[in-house]
Structure 1
Amino acid sequence: MNDPLVLAAAVAVLAGATFALRAAGPLLRSRVTVPARLERLMETSAAVLLVAVVATTALTEDQGFAGVARPAGVLAGGVLAWRGAPFAVVVLTAAGIAAGLRLLGVP
């Protein structure tokens, strides 16, 4: 993969495939009927996938536990987001709590 031409071709193919997949949804939506049960299942699976990514990122680092500061910040941000706080407030509060705990020596 040291050849720039191969790298550019790979990027172009992946970009084209990504565009095609993203365009397929709106284009095929009117042609394909999805049962209501399957649609609910897809919505639920998207939420489960998001929670799994958040949990993995919040709790682990380098194949081990991330410490207490990061999960505490994520928890605070999650509570604020759930309560409807503005995005900037959520991010700054989560980062501030994690940074403050680390400053106090909490891992």
Structure 2
Amino acid sequence: MTTWPVVLAGCAVCYLAKLTGWLVPHAVLERPRVVRVAALVTVALLSALFAVQTVVDAGALVLDARVPAVAVAAVLLWRRAPFVVVVVAAAVVAAGLRLAGLG
């Protein structure tokens, strides 16, 4: 199968999914249970993406400089540090570990 039919089919599926979302009545989307489930699904998907991008490489578990950097970022966020400080601190930790040959 060539690439273009697959790309066009994917586009059609995405368009239909978006169209279906627009066709759902607003009253259904405002129900407390739907709002709660939508919030939890968003957090679950973001967490899964984060975990896969942080500790998986080519299908194998990898514990490199990213893990301590994320731990530092988590502690700083927990301590309510400014976001710029969190990003810079995590980058410094990852860079330092890689420079030291530990990541």
Contact map agreement 2:72 2:90 (CA 8 A) in 1: yes
Cα distance in 1 between the residues matched to 2:101 and 2:38? 42
Give TM-score scaled by structure 1 length.
0.66
Cα distance in 2 between the residues matched to 1:72 and 1:105? 14
Offset of residue 77 of structure 1? 4.1
Number of residue pairs matched by the alignment: 99
Identity, % of aligned positions: 29
2:8 to 9, 12, 15: 12
Cα distance in 2 between the residues matched to 1:16 and 1:64? 35
- The corresponding residue for 1:47 is 43
- The corresponding residue for 2:57 is 61
- Greater alpha carbon shift after TM alignment, 20-29 vs 45-54: 20-29
1:1-107 → structure 2 map (5 Å cutoff):
1=1, 6-30=2-26, 33-34=28-29, 35-62=31-58, 63-67=60-64, 69-78=65-74, 83=80, 84-86=82-84, 91=87, 93-107=89-103
Cα distance in 1 between the residues matched to 2:50 and 2:5? 33
Q: Cα–Cα, structure 1 residues 20 and 76, in superposed 2: closer, same or farther, change >3 Å?
A: farther
Amino acid in the other structure paired with 2:13: A
Give TM-score scaled by structure 2 length.
0.68
Cα distance in 2 between the residues matched to 1:90 and 1:26? 37
Aligned-pair Cα RMSD in Å: 2.8
